[in-house]
Structure 1
Amino acid sequence: MDHMEVSVLPDDLIVEILSRLPLKSFCRFKCVCKPWLAFSFDPNYRKKLPKIPTGLFCQYQDFDKKATKLLSQPRNVEKIDGALSFLPDHPQLELMDCCNGLVLCMRRSMDWSRRTITCHFIVCNTATREWTRLPDTRPYQEHAVFEAMLAFNPSCSPQFYVFNFKRNTFSFLSGLQVFSSDLSTWLVYDAWWSSGIHTVVGYPHLFIDGSLYLFSMRHNSVKRILVLNGFEAMSSRMPPNRQTIKLPHDPSVEPANGLPVGLYTRGRRC
């Protein structure tokens, strides 16, 4: 396509086409066309275009203290505090999840007299160094196991949600607490999981287009995708929508050997 042909296309249409490209192809095209390069710096368009990841957060444990670092090219981390040094100092603060620029951290505290565990969460923005401490969760018995996940889509809403899944000793989901930044409180949906038929098989999970996707398994070992969406209903303290997608059986892929993970939306893959 020559310059004359490109110029007759409206900018909105060009951006829509570029937004459907894989990141690698988009980066190549920015190098050969200055107008396309300019789109990536235009605040009206760059939200739609593929984004280059700033880096990768990792956490390691040094004796009894956990530490967080950001692995990235030096030019990408000038404004990012990868060590999260702006957060309150606590040796057992764990990096739990990140989603569209926000980072979720957690620590647990034990009440030895009652034999209960309470989760303490912090959500922060590493670019602005802003952070907020969430209200403490409801105490649970000491044997409870939790998996926490963050859902945030700034292109749709400034609100974020923290999902704190509770698993019993058999790894079945037995409870769910959801923090809604809109309500600034935890919503408890334990009765929602009374059937106890799903178990989240660890990470990874995906939050895309307003839906949270988790790999799950029924008691009969049938693998499924658990989908949660309709979070707006929680503003009225109603539970989110829940559905499951049964995966085709593949005897060559078992949970012990790894999980198939991927995403394809609007031409973007990761």
Structure 2
Amino acid sequence: MLLTTPDHQERSERRNMLLLLWDPLPPAEAVSGNQDLITDILLRLPVKSLLRFKCVSKQWLSLISDPQFSRHYRNLASAGIILCGTTGHIDHVSCGRRNSEPPFTYLGFIDDSAGTKILQSCNGLVLCCSFFELGKSRNYYICNPSRRQFLMLPPPSAKGCDESITIFGVHLYFDPCKSPHYQVVCVRNCAPSSAAANDHYQIEIYSSETRTWRLSGSPFSAPFDMVFDNGVLWNGTLHWISPTGASLCFDIVQEQFGEMPSLPSNEKWSKRRLRYFGESGGHLHLIEIYGSGTTQFQVFEMAKDYSSWIPKYQVDLAAIVNAYPEMARSYPDSHDSRFYLFSILFVQENEEDSLLLLHVPGKFISYNLIDKTFKELCDFGANSTKANTSIQIGCLHAYQFIETLSCV
């Protein structure tokens, strides 16, 4: 089941294209000689098919390898959502028009004895790291899972660091509309001798163009509870929010720090829970839930000029709780205090849809933010996390993913 379905015009275009492919009347030479037709067909295929079709002929190899073809392919691509649990299996919710087949379901092509997990996804490239092993440093990888390509990043340079490097967060930035090269931003510790009293952090940036790390700016300070591995990329800027509401931004292009407006609620911190912070369709979203016993909350969106958080959608999950009563739980030895088990995985907002992807015990739910309807997503395979009804809430991570022909 797709989060979005092709419209009538899209289905007609696909049908006409198939007729052109399979109609026995036009001679094969006429079809093979029509490069525009071949290009239109190839642009609608998944990456793994295109890689195989490079072997068909020199003409197809040249066409698929052309940077202009890659740009057109990117413009036609639609983003899906990949769901990652603790088992290493990766599920895929298709939001696109091209195909519903999962682009990948595991990262076994990365040769790491500890296994790997996804940290971020950015325009078709994925940042991964190895699982923690006692006595070993973590490895970090950039990969294109559609091409089954990966690159292990060299460790940061350790310049200005008197002791061993501690990495607090690593983030991928890739904007193929601006450059074919990507960058990786690392937040690490710095030498006490090279920093002011409260400056404990240093930014270091890796460039795929130079294949090297370099220091960015001077050491800096941050709120004591800032979690640097939960950054969100929006408009070329990394954004972090601490559990107590402090914020920090880093403009990757300008290499400058800033702050976001205060969070939207004046509720006491004992009642506030930041349940979602992410980007979709060029929008930065935030969801706070005030108390565990409520089914109502708002989806906030950051103003383009960073002036404020704007309430965008009102959500009430009461109907979902009624449909799935296993969401409702009670605290031990309490007759009145109830709470609800659900995890907000993703807010999808584009020209066609505004949806909330939820995980409730054993199920994935798509909630329409416009008309307040919901549906259970049932297209997961027998070996997927969907089949594991014992999966715990909060153990899943969702990332937007769009296929690309770009190399690492």
Indicate whether the TM-score tops 0.5: yes
- Report the equivalent of 1:147: 169
- Report the equivalent of 1:56: 82
1:49-73 deviation per Cα after TM superposition (whole angstroms, max 9, x unaligned): 67140x414142xxxxxx5222026
- Report the equivalent of 2:233: 207
Residues of 2 paired with 1:73 and 1:246: CA distance? Answer: 33
SS across alignment from 1:193: strand
1:128-181 deviation per Cα after TM superposition (whole angstroms, max 9, x unaligned): 11111221224675693521111111222111111121269xx98612222111
- Judged with a 3 Å threshold, the aligned counterparts in structure 2 of structure 1 residues 262 and 72 are, in CA distance, closer, same or farther, namely closer
Does the alignment pair 1:68 with 2:94? no
- Report the equivalent of 2:294: none
Residues of 1 paired with 2:13 and 2:248: CA distance? Answer: 37
- Report the equivalent of 2:184: 162
CA contact (8 A) 1:56 1:72 kept: yes
The 5 A counterparts of 1:180-191 are 180-189=207-216
TM-score, with length taken from structure 1: 0.61
CA contact (8 A) 1:98 1:104 kept: yes
**Larger mean Cα displacement after TM superposition, 177-186 or 193-202:** 193-202
Matched length: 219
Which is greater in Rg? 2
Greater relative CO, 1 or 2 (CA 8 Å, sep 6+): 2
Residues of 2 paired with 1:111 and 1:91: CA distance? Answer: 11
- Report the equivalent of 1:134: 153
The 5 A counterparts of 1:1-270 are 27=4, 30-34=6-10, 41=44, 47-48=74-75, 51-53=78-80, 55-60=81-86, 68-72=88-92, 76-77=100-101, 80-107=103-130, 118-138=137-157, 141=163, 144-166=166-188, 174-189=201-216, 192-197=218-223, 200-201=226-227, 204-209=230-235, 211-217=236-242, 223-230=246-253, 240-252=255-267, 254=269, 257-263=273-279, 265=282, 268=350
CA contact (8 A) 1:216 1:225 kept: yes
Q: Greater strand share, 1 or 2?
A: 1
SS across alignment from 1:179: strand
Q: How far off its partner does 1:217 sit? A: 4.6
Consecutive unaligned residues of structure 1, counting only runs of 5 or more, are 1-22, 61-66, 232-239
Residues of 2 paired with 1:45 and 1:81: CA distance? Answer: 22
- Judged with a 3 Å threshold, the aligned counterparts in structure 2 of structure 1 residues 127 and 153 are, in CA distance, closer, same or farther, namely same
Residues of 2 paired with 1:36 and 1:241: CA distance? Answer: 49
Q: How far off its partner does 1:245 sit? A: 2.2
SS across alignment from 1:159: coil
Consecutive unaligned residues of structure 2, counting only runs of 5 or more, are 15-39, 46-68, 191-197, 284-348, 356-408
Amino acid at match of 1:242: F
CA contact (8 A) 2:232 2:277 kept: no
- Judged with a 3 Å threshold, the aligned counterparts in structure 2 of structure 1 residues 167 and 258 are, in CA distance, closer, same or farther, namely farther
**Larger mean Cα displacement after TM superposition, 85-94 or 253-262:** 253-262
- Report the equivalent of 1:12: none
- Judged with a 3 Å threshold, the aligned counterparts in structure 2 of structure 1 residues 84 and 207 are, in CA distance, closer, same or farther, namely same
Residues of 2 paired with 1:198 and 1:36: CA distance? Answer: 56
TM-score, with length taken from structure 2: 0.43
Q: How far off its partner does 1:184 sit? A: 0.7
The percent identity for this pair of structures is: 15
1:80-111 deviation per Cα after TM superposition (whole angstroms, max 9, x unaligned): 44221111132153432221111112248999
CA-atom RMSD in angstroms: 4.3
SS across alignment from 2:156: coil
- Judged with a 3 Å threshold, the aligned counterparts in structure 2 of structure 1 residues 224 and 69 are, in CA distance, closer, same or farther, namely same
Residues of 1 paired with 2:264 and 2:229: CA distance? Answer: 20
Residues of 2 paired with 1:36 and 1:167: CA distance? Answer: 56
